[in-house]
């Protein structure tokens, strides 16, 4: 088929990209904050690395669990909706044809055409037509829970590994500025790259993540300092 004008859309690739970037962002921000907080309390380097490593594993697992549960419950909702729809198609076929026609009328088709489209789609694949046009479920949008869990845990770990590795080659006295600087550089690049792929202005994306990163690290450093004095 000859397609004279097929513009490139970005929404299809934004799902997994968004998940990966968010995972890596989380990994950088939470691990760098953890390291900065523990370092500000005056902990030794070996303890800082231990805290960072524990934070990496805990965070990755928490990402995996959260992602799995959220995708799974989305799946359950979709399955329940499809079950209701299937039953409705069995029990009230005529009403379901009319329901579909009403949807197309509300989208701007005239009476005759709406009924014709509804008739033909009901002959073609009734459940698919109702799932898509009435409930808004399409097969491409349905996510894989285990896959989503794995990739967000991996993205988090990759993000978390960067500040953790930076601790090992930084002298203890310089940790409080080296780790934040590395974290902010990475966050800035990641934010800009994600914005670019998503078609948004890179600088804005970059500033946004850096702002939240600074806030998180500043806050944990303060808390670490307070606890370091108190203990
Ligand atoms: Zn229906």
CA of 100 relative to ligand 1 center, distance in Å:
7
pLDDT value at residue 126? 93
CA of 16 relative to ligand 1 center, distance in Å:
30
Residue 1 lies in a domain: no
Residue 184 lies in a domain: yes
pLDDT value at residue 13? 57
CA of 145 relative to ligand 1 center, distance in Å:
27
The two tokens of residue 113 are 């055409």
What tens digit of pLDDT does each residue of 185-222 get? 999 999 998 888 778 888 988 999 999 999 999 999 99
Residue 222 lies in a domain: yes
Residue position matching structure tokens 């009734």: 126
Question: How would residue 125 be classed by pLDDT, with cut points 50, 70 and 90?
Answer: very high
Rounded to a whole number, what is the distance in angstroms from the first to the last CA of the chain?
A: 72
Residue with the bigger pLDDT between 76 and 230: it is 76
Residue 102 lies in a domain: no
Residue 78 lies in a domain: yes
CA of 72 relative to ligand 1 center, distance in Å:
23
What is the spatial distance between Cα 175 and Cα 81, in angstroms, rounded to a whole number?
53
Angle at the Cα of 200 (from 199 to 204), degrees rounded to 5? 155
CA of 101 relative to ligand 1 center, distance in Å:
10
pLDDT value at residue 14? 60
> b or e along 94-109 (b: 16 or more beta carbons within 10 Å of the residue's beta carbon)?
eebbeebbebbbeeeb
**Range(s) of the domain holding residue 204:** 13-85+142-227
Nearest one of 55, 21, 23, 32 to 152, comparing CA atoms: 23
- 3-class state of residue 112 by DSSP: helix
Calculate mean pLDDT across residues 11-31: 81
pLDDT value at residue 170? 92
Predicted TM-score (pTM) of the model is 0.76
Residue position matching structure tokens 């509804």: 118
Residue 115 lies in a domain: no
Helix (H) / strand (E) element for 191: namely: helix 175-198
Residue 202 lies in a domain: yes
CA of 131 relative to ligand 1 center, distance in Å:
8
- 3-class state of residue 8 by DSSP: coil
Tell me how many domains the chain contains. Answer: 1
CA of 76 relative to ligand 1 center, distance in Å:
18
């Amino acid at each position: 088929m000859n397609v004279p004008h097929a513009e490139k859309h970005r929404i299809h690739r934004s799902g997994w990209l968004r998940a990966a970037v968010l995972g890596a962002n989380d990994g950088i921000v939470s691990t760098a904050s953890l390291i900065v907080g523990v370092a500000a309390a005056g902990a030794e380097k070996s303890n800082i690395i231990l805290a960072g490593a524990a934070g990496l594993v805990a965070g990755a697992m928490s990402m995996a669990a959260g992602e799995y549960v959220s995708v799974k419950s989305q799946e359950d909702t979709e399955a329940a909706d499809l079950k209701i729809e299937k039953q409705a198609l069995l029990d009230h076929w005529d009403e379901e044809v009319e329901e579909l026609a009403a949807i197309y009328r509300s989208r701007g088709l005239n009476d005759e055409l709406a009924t014709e489209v509804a008739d033909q789609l009901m002959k073609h694949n009734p459940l698919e037509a109702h799932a898509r046009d009435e409930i808004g479920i399409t097969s491409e949008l349905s996510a894989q829970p285990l896959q989503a869990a794995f990739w967000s845990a991996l993205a988090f770990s990759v993000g978390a590994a960067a500040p953790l590795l930076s601790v090992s080659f930084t002298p203890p006295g310089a940790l409080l500025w080296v780790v934040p600087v590395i974290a902010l550089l990475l966050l800035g690049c990641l934010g800009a790259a994600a914005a670019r792929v998503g078609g948004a202005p890179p600088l804005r994306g970059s500033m946004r993540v850096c702002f939240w990163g600074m806030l998180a690290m500043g806050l944990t450093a303060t808390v670490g300092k307070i606890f370091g004095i108190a203990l």
